[in-house]
Chains A and B, each alone.
Chain A
Amino acid sequence: MNRSHRHGAGSGCLGTMEVKSKFGAEFRRFSLERSKPGRFEEFYGLLQHVHKIPNVDVLVAYTDVHGDLLPINNDDNYHKAVSTANPLLRVFIQKKEEADYSAFGTDTLTKKKNVLSNVLRPDNHRKKPHIVISMPQDFRPVSSIIDVDILPETHRRVRLYKYGTEKPLGFYIRDGSSVRVTPHGLEKVPGIFISRLVPGGLAQSTGLLAVNDEVLEVNGIEVSGKSLDQVTDMMIANSRNLIITVRPANQRNNVVRNSRTSGSSGQSTDNSLPGYPPQAEPSFEPEDEDSDEDDLVIEDNGAPQQIPKAVPNAESLESLAQVELSLESAQNGFVPSGEGSLAPVASGASTEFEARVPDRKLLEEDGTIITL
């Protein structure tokens, strides 16, 4: 390996890049044009071709500069792999049915040798069981703590993502009073609290909410001054993508600020969060905008279709503004994370619908996500 490495370095010219691909015990070497790597599908086809496994579903992975074994399964991480390969791109191919997911990801920096040897010698059994992390294509948005960097440490913003689960949201709220520091000293003000969690419900299973947490905001809108019924209605109306900011009753488990670097992708730079506080423009928080609204239409007794968003025309200032907003948010660092199988896109989905994909599921690659 070292030899080939040196060899690659020696023969490395500007335009091409060497690829060393391993499937089982077989190696293949070929080169790619660094500037025009092409699409992932083409690369995948090429791998199947060079290994002569045309109809076998495989998982493709590579080792990055830190020695982490990372998957290649879409254009983005393929391009990333190509751009960071220096000078050689090492590719590991596994059959999907015998794939070892545990090899991917975390902490491979310190246990590089170990992981690599694990991958290289799959029959080498580990002593301790790894946590199984599924493949990124199986990822879906999950409930998480978000906006850690812009909130006070005493507060916690939790996103309850109901997508794909049959669990009910499963919590109750009640009226109560909390003590606030005001210009006139301490004051008792009415507040809304979580009163009960339904066993087995989403709220309980995430572990992010607890009884007696005070609800401060719902989807960016402050609840102070609103009645219990109003807050209930707001939560139900936002139930497909509910973001509640709470002051946890138990303040000992707060996320400590600046701990982000310890995350798995601490070095990656594409997970910056928008710098503005979302409550400034609560109603237009991008994730609030469209991901939750997929009304269906059945035309002439045909199959149900998701209703596409109308193409903005010049007359409509409103829709114009919406498009501008989504562009703005993209500039703010929401790098579209690619084609997830987030929604079961109907076969008849129009182009407008696809055009909308980038501004959905924006926060899912957030480094501070705590996944449970």
Chain B
Amino acid sequence: MRRFLRSGHDPSRERLKRDLFQFNKTVEHGFPHQPSALGYSPSLRLLAIGTRSGAVKLYGAPGVEFMGLHRENNAVVQVCFLPGQCQLITLLDDNSLHLWSLKVKGGVSELQEDESFTLRGPPGAAPSATQITVVLPHSSCKMLYLGTESGNVFAVQVPGFRALEDRAISSDAVLQRLPEEARQRRVFEMVEALQEHPRDPNQVLIGYSRGLIVVWDLRGSRVLCHFLSSQQLDSVCWQRDGRLIVSCHSDGSYCQWAVSADTQPLEPVRSCVPYGPFPCKAITKIFWLTTKQGLPFTIFQGGMPRASYGDRHCISVVHNGQQTAFDFTSRVIDFTVLSEVDPAAAFDDPCALVVLAEEELVVIDLQTAGWPQVQPPYLASLHCSAITCSHHVSNIPLKLWERIIAAGSCQNTHFSPMEWPIDGGTSLAPTPPQRDLLLTGHEDGTVRFWDASGVCLRLLYKLSTVHVFFTDSDPSEHLGAQGEDEWPPLRKVGSFDPYSDDPRLGIQKIFLCKYSGYLAVAGTAGQVLVLELNDEAAEHSVEQAEADLLQEQEGYRWKGHERLCARPGPVRFEPGFQPFVLVQCQPPAVVTSLALHSEWRLVAFGTSHGFGLFDHQQRRQVFVKCTLHPSDQLALEGPLSRVKSLKKSLRQSFRRIRRSRVSSRKRRPAGPAGETQEGGARAERAGLQNMELAPVQRKIEARTAEDSFTGFVRTLYFADTYLRDSSRHCPSLWAGTNGGTVYAFALRVPPAERRADEPVRAEQAKEIQLMHRAPVVGILVLDGRGVPLPEPLEVAHDLSKSPDMQGGHQLLVVSEEQFKVFTLPKVSAKLKLKLTALEGSRVRRVSAAHFGSCRAEDYGEHHLAVLTNLGDIQVVSLPLLKPQVRYSCIRREDVSGIASCVFTRHGQGFYLISPSEFERFSLSTKWLVEPRCLVDSAETKNHSRPRNGSGPEKGWGRARNSGSQSDGEERSPGTVMEHALLNDERVLKEIQSTLEGDRRSYGDWRSQQVAMRTRLSCCHSPSFRSGVSGPRVQAAR
């Protein structure tokens, strides 16, 4: 009987599952980890970044993104576009060349690898003979010139990668054609620079590392002219008209050489060491760019005085007597300058400097005075300070969204007003159907608010909690660093700053209520801040309270860090989220769980010692509960002693190994001397072998109540449910611990009119001990229909059906090992799914999500999205707990990826694939945010033409559907405010204003967005807009 009831055998259910679930990794947000190469196509206006793991990423206009991965996981050394083509060449560190192209398929461009090639030298030649140092794609697009370590330049035909031996320029050939006097020195060695004449495709400039530069005539196979520098050559640059060559050298100098066919210059026109006279580091790359005004831009990398500034990563810009050395926060990988594209134009007129540093991309506006930075719409450095936690909030009300953007714009005044200059390609992705926020907490005590609605993860606002506390860092230090006549004229640029002043400031948990604008943030030293969004800057003091979670526990010694010291008195806060309550847990252990209920004005927090509830309206502690087990020594002593014990155990294990070696030697029977020695050696060998071959062992032991860290509070949950009896529901707080215990407290929240006077009361109503004692990772109450209870204020906003308070509520407790449903109010076990017992995987993260069907407009189901310790993602049905689908998502070894995973309410998720990148994935067929873009080489010929989204329409069908469907869901019946427990007038007003905000036409919101200098490219096409705004208006009605 049961066999037939199992979901796997029901064809209609299988069909439905296909409509509901689909797994895709859609887009990578953030900055590529370990970038190793930069390329730019002036004609396509696309930026290419290669990484050490063999990925190539292309970026154009916001939303235009491509990703390719080499089959070989070798580092990309160089990326260059074929001039004017939708093709690019990559050089890997295994000396292989790869040709990639952007091909249009189904109306969308795709990046794919066409072919690869490895240069082969004559048999017997040293491998360095073919080791490629420079790649020059010839403007004819048929040839690649490859400079090598041997000094030879090879010619290869593309596509096809056929080596043309007759076109190769060997160093011998060059030597023969040089005049007698230039041949005397060993001038060759490897090819450092290879450049085509900007006007004449038949001339190529070859620079050799020993300092010889020749201009080679491709057709006549002769040296047109040569320049001999006394210093090692690093790079060269033609002036736009080809009359001047600028070379830069390893001693920190650069030289200008006049090119003329008639006279052979022996000396440079000008030679200069910009940061002399003391020894300088090499200038590794130089740009010489002309302007209409006459004075050229000189932009070069490096050249800093070796002794005092040799460790800086600098790019200097010199123009018109102004000189600035941009000081980057990490090593500069490469840089390029965006300038006039038209080859016929007389001047370069550079507009922007694009610098790829190891940890961030910096673009500097060269047209605006002062050369300010341009804020990139993508490639954000997520890891400016290490990410410690993340929190996703779906479907932000417009009002809150605008206020956050407004707060953020006050912080971005130092950015240039320039439009994002890299704007190639057309994004065909539909406008995101809703506004999503991703909040990341960082080690330095900041919370960053990211716009996660679309393909571009864009920083909206940055909140710092540092000002609340006294820290070691002295703010005046930063101000003093910049003097007036400092030489070299250094200027710090970039935001990457991994050095935290105080690790205790780190953010561990975030909880944002999107309706009320209340935010709770908790950190490493047990600090819990409640913040409120304020549009004005304000100066006020933060209410402080201490929560003693140990209460009357005896024999306690906390050996961990001290708690943070809060600033007394009023503190000035920027517009944005401003803290008004600070609760500090005692002992100051890391806050491990946090929940905020904006309707009841309560915040709950838990650490490894217990949990507490705080009334942030009355600024009063409601209760604390200690969850410690008396024998839990580790939690009692704090994190430091844990480190010590680990050290100790390591030391012990080493001792044990040593002892066992010694004893095995001793045990040898005394025999003839030789035999003993041999035996001893054998024993040692055997011991070594044993040590090496000793397999990994795992101890099988049932969990006991005495395990350490059982009191660790893993999850906190507010619910309005039937806790005590089935006739009356009441507010409740649920807490789950690492030891498999669930506590339930009945709360009495006074009605609104007496909310400010009467205290909130709490009383423990239930305690459930799961016998398998696995950590409780999720608690959820399901209503009479088996649907999770909505978030506070959600029903009031008419965004969710009001919960069914008639039928019996059920409690879902998710431990690492099992899912269990209990009835309420009388707790009896109803259903369970023993995940670990069956699969050996354990639940790491769980979240309720709504899955819409891609076929039926209004059909959707609530399920649990589950991430296991094996990196698998599963969907488990509610309320029957049947596994639906399983996809492997993250490598099981990728612990930080698994730990960082966060699910959205609509079946999407994010996890960190590197410290700086979020991978976005989707389990839903309906909610899919992925780049869909078109790059057309024909279109780029006239890139200034306003794009009007004339891209193919067929790709949009599904996407547009999704927009209207989501609105349809919002439209779901349910009388406004009927079920809301709204008794606060202010909240009511707020909600009303938000609803009105939502009702405003889509155009308003768009113009707002444009004002924020974001570009959504084709999405602004009239036809598309009407497609989206239609249902939206309907929804508002």
Contact = CB atoms under 8 A, between A and B. Distances in A.
A116 interface: no
Interface string B665-703: 000000000000000000000000000000111111111
Contact of B831 (A175, A230, A319): A319
B830 A316 contact: yes
Contacts of A339: none
Contact of A307 (B697, B700, B828, B839): B828
A219 B827 CA distance: 28
B697 A297 contact: no
Given A296-B769, A298-B766, A318 B817 contact: no
Contacts of B697: 172-174, 195-196
Given A236-B703, A239-B701, A307 B840 contact: no
Contact of B766 (A195, A288, A297, A321): A297
B700 A232 contact: yes
A294 interface: yes
B204 interface: no
Nearest to A232: B698
B698 A228 contact: yes
Contacts of B820: 295
A322 B5 CA distance: 11
A195 B695 contact: yes
B822 interface: yes
A300 B765 CA distance: 4
A297 B767 CA distance: 5
B696 A174 contact: yes
A309 interface: yes
A295 B3 CA distance: 27
A334 B297 CA distance: 91
Contacts of A169: 700-702
Contacts of B886: none
Given A169-B701, A228-B696, A300-B765, A282 B828 contact: no
A191 to B, nearest CB: 11
B741 to A, nearest CB: 9
B701 A170 contact: yes
B699 A172 contact: yes
B723 to A, nearest CB: 10
A282 B834 CA distance: 12
A226 interface: yes
Interface in B832-864: 832, 834, 836-842
Contacts of A292: 771-772
B837 A238 contact: yes
A297 B842 contact: no
A310 B829 CA distance: 5
B15 interface: no
B695 A176 contact: yes
Contacts of B841: 230, 233
A98 to B, nearest CB: 39
B170 interface: no
Contacts of A170: 700-701
Interface string A304-325: 1001111000001111011011
B840 A317 contact: no
Interface string A197-241: 000000100000000000000010100001111111111111110
B881 interface: yes
Interface string A324-363: 1100100000000000000000000000100000000000
Nearest to B767: A298
A284 interface: yes
B863 to A, nearest CB: 15
Interface centre among B700, B702, B880 (most CB of A within 10 A): B700
B101 interface: no
B805 interface: no
B771 A324 contact: no
Contacts of B3: 281
B771 A233 contact: no
Contacts of B829: 293, 295, 307-310
A43 interface: no
Given A219-B837, A240-B771, A293 B700 contact: no
B24 interface: no
B228 interface: no
Contact of A168 (B702, B774, B822, B892): B702
B689 to A, nearest CB: 16
Contact of A282 (B770, B822, B838): B838
Contacts of B698: 172-174, 228-229, 231-232
Nearest to A196: B697
Contacts of A227: 840, 870, 892
A239 B695 contact: no
Interface string B788-823: 000000000000000000000000000001101011
Given A238-B837, A295-B769, A316-B831, A324 B702 contact: no
A293 B830 contact: no
Interface string A54-76: 00000000000000000000000
Contacts of B768: 295-298, 307
A31 interface: no
A124 interface: no
A283 interface: yes
B2 interface: yes
B129 to A, nearest CB: 44
A162 interface: yes
Contacts of A196: 697
Contacts of A282: 838
A310 B830 contact: yes
Contacts of B870: 227, 230
Nearest to B818: A237
A123 interface: no
A307 B881 contact: no
A304 B769 contact: yes
B771 A318 contact: no
A101 interface: no
Contact of B5 (A173, A234, A296, A321): A321
A299 interface: yes
Given A175-B696, A284-B2, A301 B702 contact: no
Contacts of A308: 828-829
A171 interface: yes
Interface in A165-188: 168-176
B764 interface: yes
B828 A310 contact: yes
A326 B889 CA distance: 37
Interface centre among A170, A295, A297 (most CB of B within 10 A): A295
B261 interface: no
B837 A168 contact: no
A221 B835 CA distance: 12
B828 A283 contact: no
A117 B832 CA distance: 56
B1 interface: yes
25 contacts: A162-B702, A168-B702, A169-B700, A169-B702, A171-B699, A171-B700, A230-B870, A231-B840, A233-B817, A234-B839, A235-B700, A236-B836, A237-B817, A237-B840, A282-B838, A283-B837, A284-B2, A294-B771, A295-B770, A296-B771, A298-B769, A300-B765, A304-B769, A310-B823, A316-B880
| Nearest 10 interchain pairs by C-beta | A230-B840, A239-B702, A237-B836, A232-B698, A234-B840, A174-B695, A310-B830, A298-B767, A237-B837, A321-B2
Given A173-B700, A239-B701, 10 more contacts: A172-B698, A221-B838, A221-B839, A229-B869, A234-B837, A236-B701, A293-B832, A298-B766, A309-B828, A310-B829
Interface of B: 1-3, 5, 695-703, 764-772, 774, 817-818, 820, 822-823, 827-832, 834, 836-842, 869-870, 880-882, 892
